[in-house]
């Protein structure tokens, strides 16, 4: 019983620190936040903070890890696949819905210089999710005409570009509408990479490539 109480205490303290970080990111941006700011907002001691996290970046990574776990739990196989390719990414709609529900936080970080570190770690998380989905849902053959890591980079960068655009709109689209746009842009971009171009890429890897449109 004492172990359960200790676990709950640890979870509660970590939640307080994460909430403090997210609130401060909205107010002043990630780069400007200090550990002292976080412990003052969470109302915990400095020793308590360092018993859980080594610095604010580790706290940020802990928050992103929680988001990644949430997205993995939410990304059930989609009922309606893309009609052209049969591919539908399970992470995208839950992520967009999460952004829509936390607009102030994402508006304060996405596309702003103070959010550079946040975007970097988000990109790493999304790349892991895309690789995981590609392997788990058997999508690797669908990228057969395109080097896999280039496909992952294309998918993640398309998602983040749309996210930045979305947060900058006064009357943004719904998460569902943005998800449809994301899939259309992403999958059309992959499909136009022709088999001949990929063959040339494979033979001349390491040499500058000049693909014709």
Domain co-membership, 62 together with 32: no
* Average pLDDT of the chain to the nearest whole number: 79
Domain annotation covers residue 85: yes
Residues in the chain: 213
Domain co-membership, 133 together with 62: yes
Domain co-membership, 88 together with 47: no
- Indicate whether 8 pLDDT > 60: yes
Torsion of CA 200, 202, 206, 210, to 10 degrees: 30
How far is the C-alpha of 64 from the C-alpha of 125, rounded, in Å?
8
Span 121-164, pLDDT tens digits = 999 999 999 888 877 555 554 555 556 788 889 889 999 999 98
Q: Residue 176: name the closest of 101, 98, 86, 97 by CA.
A: 97
Domain co-membership, 194 together with 175: yes
Domain annotation covers residue 213: no
Higher pLDDT among residues 58 and 82, named by residue? 58
- Indicate whether 70 pLDDT > 80: yes
Cβ–Cβ < 8 Å for 29, 112: yes
Domain co-membership, 67 together with 97: yes
Q: Rounded to two decimals, what is the model's pTM?
A: 0.77
| DSSP letters for 73-118 | HH-PPPSS--TTT----TTHHHHHHHHHHTHHHHHHHTTSGGGHHH
Domain co-membership, 151 together with 46: no
Domain co-membership, 86 together with 185: yes
Give 110's pLDDT tier (boundaries 50, 70, 90): confident
Higher pLDDT among residues 39 and 89, named by residue? 39
Give 62's pLDDT tier (boundaries 50, 70, 90): very high
In the prediction, which pLDDT does 148 show? Answer: 73
When computed from its CA atoms, the radius of gyration of the chain, rounded to whole angstroms, is 20
In the prediction, which pLDDT does 160 show? Answer: 93
Query: Angle formed by the axes of helices 56-74 and 92-101, to 10°?
Result: 120
Domain co-membership, 28 together with 65: no
Domain that holds residue 6: 2-53
Domain co-membership, 32 together with 88: no
Domain annotation covers residue 152: yes
Q: What's the number of domains the chain is made of? A: 2
Domain annotation covers residue 185: yes
In the prediction, which pLDDT does 112 show? Answer: 65
How far is the C-alpha of 81 from the C-alpha of 9, rounded, in Å?
43
Span 181-203, pLDDT tens digits = 999 888 776 655 444 444 444 44
Q: Give the mean pLDDT of 46-64.
A: 95
Domain co-membership, 114 together with 29: no
CATH number of the domain that residue 42 is part of: 1.10.10.60
Domain annotation covers residue 43: yes
Domain co-membership, 44 together with 61: no
Check the CA dihedral 177-154-67-135 and report its sign: positive
Domain co-membership, 74 together with 48: no
């Amino acid at each position: 019983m004492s172990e359960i109480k200790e676990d709950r205490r640890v979870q509660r303290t970590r939640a307080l620190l994460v909430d403090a970080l997210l609130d401060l990111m909205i107010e002043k941006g990630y780069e400007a936040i200090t550990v002292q700011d976080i412990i003052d907002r969470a109302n915990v001691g400095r020793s308590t903070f360092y018993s859980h996290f080594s610095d604010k970046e580790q706290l940020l990574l802990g928050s992103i890890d929680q988001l990644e776990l949430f997205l993995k739990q939410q990304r059930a196989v989609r009922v309606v696949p893309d009609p052209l390719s049969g591919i539908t990414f399970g992470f995208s709609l839950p992520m967009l819905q999460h952004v829509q529900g936390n607009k102030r936080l994402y508006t304060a970080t996405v596309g702003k210089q103070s959010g550079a570190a946040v975007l970097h770690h988000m990109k790493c998380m999304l790349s892991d999710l895309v690789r995981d989905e590609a392997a788990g849902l058997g999508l690797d053959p669908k990228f057969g005409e395109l080097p896999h890591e280039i496909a992952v980079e294309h998918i993640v960068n398309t998602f983040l570009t749309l996210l930045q655009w979305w947060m900058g709109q006064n009357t943004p689209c719904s998460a569902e509408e943005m998800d449809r746009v994301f899939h259309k842009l992403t999958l059309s971009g992959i499909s136009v990479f022709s088999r001949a171009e990929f063959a040339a890429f494979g033979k001349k890897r390491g040499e500058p490539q000049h693909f014709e449109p």
